[in-house]
Amino acid sequence: MAKTFRLAKHLKIASIILLILGIGNIIYGNAKTKEYLSVLQESTSAVPSLSESERGLPVLGRYISLDEQLNYYSAVKSKIDFYRFTIRGGKAFLALSLLCAIGTIIFR
């Protein structure tokens, strides 16, 4: 009896922690994904004129070469993918939190 009570108590604590982590990951992941999507959209929507295309893409007040543009684009895409993965992790934490909450009810 005491073991099941202790198990229910631990499951409740785990459920609360996973809930907080899941919500935090989803909120943070969504915010950063939107931020990097806007950066990506700004960098790809700018169509340079012929004279600007020779200089490259303007980034932080300077122009970068084509190789640097590709590296920049790749880095931004990688960050977007990472934060989308963070959102998936947050959803997994929420699912585990739900399972722990159900376990708390079962082992009460």
Which residue range forms the structural domain that includes residue 90? 2-106
Domain count, the chain: 1
Q: Are 43 and 57 in contact (CB under 8 A)?
A: yes
- In 46-61, which ranges are continuous DSSP H helix? 50-55
Q: Among the listed ranges 8-12, 19-23, 42-46, 51-55, which one has the minimum average pLDDT value?
A: 51-55
Helix (H) or strand (E) holding 66: helix 66-106
Tens-place pLDDT, residues 65-85: 778 888 889 999 999 999 999
φ/ψ (deg, to 5) at 58: -75, 125
pTM (predicted TM-score): 0.77
Q: Are 11 and 106 in contact (CB under 8 A)?
A: no
